[in-house]
Structure 1
């Protein structure tokens, strides 16, 4: 007898230890390229320490690429022997072609896959997997779970403090003039994944201290006014700063549950060392 649901995610999400150990969760890694060298974003082929060292030393800016449709087809060929269907949750289609590869792979394999555009990255993606697994435990059918997760994407809230303007500039996401002015004035850009999955700048703050307070103020508002109690801090190789932020937040929000995690390598390539991403979910009223 086949199991009901296989869960599939890519490495733009936050890959928890629980996901790694879960027998029904399958993780498909993106690829990272330094010139002609290619690495798999699995935390083993290229560790975060090695990634940041290479970024600092390399004359070529690293790039990422989504898994090929054939890779997904190979996975789905295996899964259809064991499962009735799969629910695949992927990075925002506005930022990555991974969901398109996943959908094409499912068609090649002729396997039923409910592909969910998370409209997010990092924990915004992983949180949907967690929610889906809980619904499955409650006996909800796959199609209904998929429909619920698609609606759940509207609840995602996020504020991202970019840590390295040089990396944004080298990656072609900031003009030379913006980079020069930003560096000169020590501007801290804050960006956000919008409700339709696009990455947009929403504010510029003139000091790191003010930028941190900006993140705290938005979290405290939803904590006080909407009863949010679970928050996630994702960081780019600055765990001590993430821990310090957590302690400040707990002084402001003593009942909060705050998770800290690394940005995956495939996100760190673009966001830069020192980035802090603050995320949570709030029910849409």
Structure 2
């Protein structure tokens, strides 16, 4: 049997659209979510609904862990029977050890894998996967595809309104001063994942309404300056707010395509219920 050319690999922090879920060459490994009494695999034996229920009911915030090196090695051992090589696109290496596990796993399996650091999370990874698959259809060489995707990471933009400051702080993603400022003064921080894949405080705003208006302004400015075809609204169990944000964007930018989706359980552990994220990609003309 002739081997297929490229397998596509990612992790469960990516938002997998139906076409990617149905794609025969796309594989993903779940992030591990650890409560004190149980260990779950994101999206496999723990749904987002179950996670939010537990987060509301329990005092202790769960921890997350990357898929093990062994899990990656097992996956690469399996797919090397069918494919010549793979391209793996993962959550920012500054936010998780997943990329390191993937690299170690492919070395154990002795399989040719181009590992790409998305420098981001969620739909930003989705965009890279879709662009890579399109380049493969055009007959572009695997190393060239990987290099182009690494360049494309610089064109991703995101702004995030956290649903739960307390959760974010206890998860070690925010320092004490920032947490105190946000909690005591009722500041709504806008955070973002920078181009090198780190979380930073972008701006402090007085209310959620003002924060939403601010990120819409940032989108409008980017839309004027760049070629933006689509914006993604990712939410933490707050579909109504996501739809309200979508409607507000449509008032200003009626021609832009809008996708609404859930953040994964492994992201929700840190960001919290009620989180809203706005993501878009600056396309080349």
Interval containing the TM-score (normalised by the shorter chain): over 0.9
Take 2:195 and 2:62, find their aligned partners in 1: how far apart are those partners? 28
Take 2:185 and 2:147, find their aligned partners in 1: how far apart are those partners? 46
**CA-to-partner distance for each residue in 1:244-272, whole Å, 9 max, x for gaps?**
10011011001100101100000000011
Secondary structure (helix, strand or coil) at the match of 1:190 reads strand
The 5 Å alignment of 1:15-164 reads 15-42=16-43, 44-164=44-164
Take 1:126 and 1:251, find their aligned partners in 2: how far apart are those partners? 26
**How far 1:183 sits from its partner (Å)?**
2.4
Which residue of structure 2 aligns with residue 227 of structure 1?
A: 227
**How far 1:178 sits from its partner (Å)?**
4.1
Take 1:175 and 1:74, find their aligned partners in 2: how far apart are those partners? 37
CA contact (8 A) 1:155 1:284 kept: no
Q: 1:115/1:174 Cα in 2 relative to 1: closer, same or farther (>3 Å)? A: closer
Which residue of structure 2 aligns with residue 9 of structure 1?
A: 10
**How far 1:179 sits from its partner (Å)?**
3.4
CA contact (8 A) 2:13 2:264 kept: yes
TM-score (norm 2): 0.96
Take 2:198 and 2:160, find their aligned partners in 1: how far apart are those partners? 13
**CA-to-partner distance for each residue in 1:218-264, whole Å, 9 max, x for gaps?**
10111122231211111111011101100110110011001011000
Q: Which moved more, 1:165-174 or 1:240-249?
A: 165-174
Take 1:136 and 1:6, find their aligned partners in 2: how far apart are those partners? 11
CA contact (8 A) 2:227 2:283 kept: no
Secondary structure (helix, strand or coil) at the match of 2:96 reads coil
Secondary structure (helix, strand or coil) at the match of 1:186 reads coil
Take 2:196 and 2:175, find their aligned partners in 1: how far apart are those partners? 24
Take 2:220 and 2:37, find their aligned partners in 1: how far apart are those partners? 46
Take 1:171 and 1:80, find their aligned partners in 2: how far apart are those partners? 37
CA contact (8 A) 2:161 2:191 kept: yes
Q: CA RMSD in A?
A: 1.4
TM-score (norm 1): 0.96
CA contact (8 A) 1:41 1:265 kept: yes
For structure 2, the 5+ residue unaligned runs are: none
CA contact (8 A) 1:154 1:284 kept: no
Secondary structure (helix, strand or coil) at the match of 1:219 reads helix
The count of residues paired between Structure 1 and Structure 2 equals 284
Tell me if 1:182 matches 2:185: no
Which residue of structure 1 aligns with residue 199 of structure 2?
A: 199
For structure 1, the 5+ residue unaligned runs are: none
**How far 1:21 sits from its partner (Å)?**
1.0
Take 1:172 and 1:105, find their aligned partners in 2: how far apart are those partners? 27
